[in-house]
Amino acid sequence: MMQAFSAWIAIALAPSASGGNLAERLGYPPDARVLILHADDLGMCHEGNAAGREALEAGTVSSGSVMVPCPWFPEFAAWARERPEWDLGVHLTLNSEWRGYRWGPVASSSEVPSLLDEEGYFYRDTRSLVQNARAEEVERECRAQVERALRFGIRPTHLDTHMGAALPAPGPL
């Protein structure tokens, strides 16, 4: 269903032309064991932003990723502009699981209708997303999120997904 976007992620994760395992590509010896502590869901709420900022500044976590469609994204993006050395990615967000606190697409709703529930927000669960989403709309929304992050001054070092929603379903539903 989401083959086009799956190919995009596969390209991002492909080994580099110079070869080497992930540890080597990160600048470590080939036999190094590397632990990357990562803070995701940045931009979802003020408290999460404050905790993520504190952890990044203290070096408790080495990277993080932002949820661009969420209401508190602009706050975290402003902090990130002050700290360009932070290793930040885009936490591609295609679902909105909370009751009473929801978000929708960065792209125009009319351009991604298959990603929205009857209330006009992203689906609460990944199953509903997988059953309804059109691949071209998934790609359109993911690109819109990356482009908005760039407009807000974030230079993403990586992409990851909120609750695995932008990844293909692992078999029959």
Give the domain ranges of the chain: 3-164
- What CATH number was assigned to the domain covering residues 3-164? 3.20.20.370
Residue positions counted in the chain:
173
Give CA–CA dist 80/67, Å, rounded. 13
Q: Residue 53: its pLDDT value, please?
A: 98
Q: With 0.85 as the threshold, say if the pTM is over it.
A: no
Q: Is the pLDDT reported for residue 173 higher than 70?
A: no
Average pLDDT value over all residues in the chain: 87
Q: Rounded to the nearest 5°, which phi and psi values hold at 42? A: -65, 140
The arithmetic mean of pLDDT across residues 51-68, rounded, is 96
Under 8 Å between Cβ of 80 and 86 = yes
The arithmetic mean of pLDDT across residues 58-71, rounded, is 96
Q: Is the pLDDT reported for residue 14 higher than 70?
A: no
Q: Is the pLDDT reported for residue 166 higher than 80?
A: no
Packing angle between helix 73-82 and helix 46-58, nearest 10 degrees? 20
Q: Residue 89: its pLDDT value, please?
A: 97
Q: Residue 168: its pLDDT value, please?
A: 60
Give CA–CA dist 77/144, Å, rounded. 16
Q: Which residue has the tokens 């990277």?
A: 63
Give CA–CA dist 86/111, Å, rounded. 32
Residues pairing with 65 in the sheet: 89
Give CA–CA dist 102/74, Å, rounded. 16
Tell me whether residue 86 is exposed, middle or buried, using C-beta atoms within 10 angstroms of its C-beta: 0 to 12, 13 to 18, 19 or more: buried
